[in-house]
A and B are shown apart, each in its own frame.
Chain A
């Protein structure tokens, strides 16, 4: 058994990660870390091992243990009250958002939580929204215990400041489903009543029951007219008020003509009317609307800074005791403790410890900034390294980041994109329709008044651009799904169209073009012997400074014992290896004269052994995989790079992007925004912005289409039109080309519907349009448009390799 276990490359039974050289063997299973083992044992104890049978290695890595003391703020009744949806004297109900949820095992375990904590009454998972609705007895357990349990088994709920702001997530609107149901009901029944008209041998039936069927049809159609179809009328009316013609205007005229002509026909006893076509049309078009409305519930595209901030923070009392407090309640003068990888929630002064603040998300600078005691640290930075103590100088709502966010340029209203394809098509459509209708009227009036009226109304009826209104949502809806499968999530279907028109692509540098967690290290100077290299490596291994860790990550070999190790904040390290004094640090620390320093713009780390400066390390950004391919595919577009960083990478970027690309460095968030504005207004370009951080938020909003790049789509990303998973970055150009292709598909679908319209219009103008023609022509045209749109997108996606 032992031997068999060792020959295999071991993957953790719990999380599936590689176990490395020394797997922890327990219960005849291998685990990568103690965290995973602990979760397994907890589940086994409670007879919950089905978890492992449903999916292979379903667990989440327990490598990063978190101190459970940080949930102490949940005991605060105020915080509790904000999170809980419902409370009675026995039970509490609330909903958690758990982004880690990923498989059916997760659903199973989360719905069996009551076995782990008898105080939990019931849990219900909504997998698509990644939410868990939880009910617990507050006498038996507490909110904090529930959250701690979830965290212990690897499903830490994401509780952010936005949750405690009282903004409860809005329930998904069900209106469209109601409308669809009513329209479908009416359509089915009215069609049944209209059936006698379709067939010759039922003429007798029609004769004796015609008016009864007619009035019943009217009764059934009234809710469709007033409720289901209301959206089309209001949208058309809004358009008219703004002196715009949108696609809903011709639809509305068509629907109105259909409904009132039918009403007139039935009441005057002239005929059976077209109510079957009317209800059918509304039904089909609502299907299109439903398609258009389907979005990604789990992803939030409109997040603001509050969902970036944590809810609680460790506050130090005067006697040095630690306690957790909600960030909301943080006051000026409070002393707070920030640990490794934690966010600084409010502007504060550093009191103790060595601060290495990673501002990459806020400002776009790639290297952590070192701060010394007494300096002000702005909110939004992330501490890297040891824990630090700070004193709050501004409340959360007054902080730098919050002010930036509330800046008016950032909260500029999103422009209405009225110049969409279908709206432009709708405009021409109504002009042509009205001309044809008028032509028919002019031709028939002197000849036959009756036929004239009939021809006029039938032109309006048949020309209802249902095909136009269906083609766009269907093609775009399917495109959105194709993109979603490839980890590119659009906010709504309208984004597809904007992507298709893009002629300029603006990239952010840090975190977008570059891999944020990696850096290439190069050494310049005298060649190092193996022994020297080992000595430097040994010293670096003792430091937690991010730069030391980056260098040592790029070195290999064994380490030697280090004595007299010392670390000087903001300067460097010193240590003795085999009797030799190794010093690593900044140029000033090693006494390198300013005129001999090279590459001053780059981050450099000098090394010396026994007082002799040997050389220095420089850091290069690592560009994302597939960047070359993306850029070469985008060569027909204008490309620009905006960076919050300094220009030491300019030469490398130039090489990658070619001579025509515009490169701008040291850009502030507002400058980025203004740059996009200038492109749009002065050069009339359609701009796509690709960024990742808060510093790009303004630019993302200002651009025609803003894509936020994220390593984990459930993590925080600034407000944007689309979220792209970093692993799919190499497909960016494919996505753009595909959106362009979909526009061709829409045109083709228009062409298909045009054929029907020409046939229908010809009959209408000749006065031959009858209810039966309408009943056959309308469903066929809508169905064929839907099928064509669906199949063509599928085929095109297959061809494009998506």
Chain B
């Protein structure tokens, strides 16, 4: 992306801007027009987009195919649900709170910690082994939450009160959407900075040719692990938002198929592009809602579209509009 001509960069900027503007404005217009449900759909889409964007850092830019990324959504969501549960029903006074800042702090802290520990082990492996070991860690956490009976086990946990912030009331659907949307913009901006920094260059360089990066004296393992932790932390944040939006969390959010869906959002929209994961998340959420209302056999056209997308739109759907990098 950084080697693009001025012309190409300007065009890609317009494409990204259009995508961002549409996701922000269209749901609000629909809401005003009385179609309030679509604002909810958009909020869920934006939360999933943040998770997909975080996955894009390691998958699209770093070449690490994690099949356990949804675990961070779960950790983030339980970081909201568990303190709120204890604030309502007592016990564990240390963490019992409705304070939104505490929730976000816990979500990011635990996600980073989990990413650090599992990343340090997983990144020793490559290829299919990496795919499987990340999935294994995800499944362990899945069964861990299933066995936590206090928090509902697999029945899940209802969040009785959303996170509290001064002056911002998440119970209002528009506020909820705007908070998620603004956070998504910040995350995309941060991603833009990271990808174009020296750190981002090394990460992408290690994806294309690890030997060369090593030969240049970079410890690629450390760079990858750092990226893995950043991705985990951001995904934890998206989980905290998603938990607040749905007011319900369950281990089902962590299941490996959910991690698979995140991968598909990234690839469908276009891995290694800034707005690609957002486009992917939008397509996924809309298809799921629209196709499923036509027929109970909606998985058939959905599956065929996936196969066709892989066969004919190799770089993701957004690539059809983006100008290609010259030396790719």
The yes or no verdict on A and B being binding partners is: no
Interfacial residues, chain A to chain B (CB-CB below 8 A): none
